[in-house]
Amino acid sequence: MKSNKDEFNEIIHEIIEHPEFQRRKTFKHHGEESVYDHSLQVSYLAYRMAKKLHLDAKSAAIGGLLHDFYTTPWMSAEKAKRFRDMHGFVHAKQAYQNALKVFPQYMTPKIKDIITKHMFPLNINPPRYRESWIVTLADKLASGKVFLKPKDLPMYIGIKKRKK
């Protein structure tokens, strides 16, 4: 019988070895953490929660891994002119579009929902699947340290530029 860690690694190995996913090691997420590390953390946490609840752990792992698969490091991107075009509101859709181009073989309706709705309530429409809610929660738990500095929250959701 495989361990959870072995099963998880079997699910994600093809994605994390892909050069486009490897580029996320150079994208900063919150503070010093990379998008790569953050995505792995969210993915494994979501996988474990889904397994515990007897849900679709494979979709939770893949959706968690690709939830922040946007193309440009957001903290270096030009500030959006319109409020609704700022990173916190649009990156989930961008992540899905990029994942669809690079990993079309994994894009099911459930994984699309996981990726595009992980920023609820910023994306307005609530997640449809329980696995989507799990990834949304795992992302918030993994990103929890941003709530320790409430005045920096607007920067982290992409409505204010990072301090120099």
Query: What CATH superfamily is the domain 4-156?
Result: Hypothetical protein af1432 (1.10.3210.10)
Alpha-carbon torsion (107, 95, 128, 15), positive or negative: positive
Q: Which residue has the tokens 């994942």?
A: 99
This prediction's pTM: 0.81
Q: State the average pLDDT over residues 74-93.
A: 54
Alpha-carbon torsion (134, 141, 162, 69), positive or negative: negative
Question: In this model, does residue 1 exceed pLDDT 90?
Answer: no
Question: In this model, does residue 31 exceed pLDDT 90?
Answer: no
Q: 158 falls in which pLDDT band (50, 70, 90)? A: low
Domain assignments of the chain as residue spans, ordered by start: 4-156
- If you count them, how many residues does the chain have? 164
- From the CA atom positions of the chain, what is the Rg in Å? 15
Q: 65 falls in which pLDDT band (50, 70, 90)? A: very high
pLDDT in tens, 35-61: 899 899 999 999 999 999 999 999 999
pLDDT in tens, 85-96: 455 555 788 889
pLDDT of the residue at 94: 87
CA distance 31 to 119: 19
User: 82 or 40: whose pLDDT is higher?
Assistant: 40
Q: Which of 24-38, 42-56, 113-127, 144-158 has the highest mean pLDDT?
A: 42-56
Contact 126, 114 (CB under 8 A): no
Buried b (16+ CB within 10 A) or exposed e, 6-22: ebbeebbeebeeeeebe
Taking Cα atoms as reference points, which of 98, 116, 113 lies closest to residue 20? 98
User: 102 or 148: whose pLDDT is higher?
Assistant: 102
CA distance 155 to 29: 11
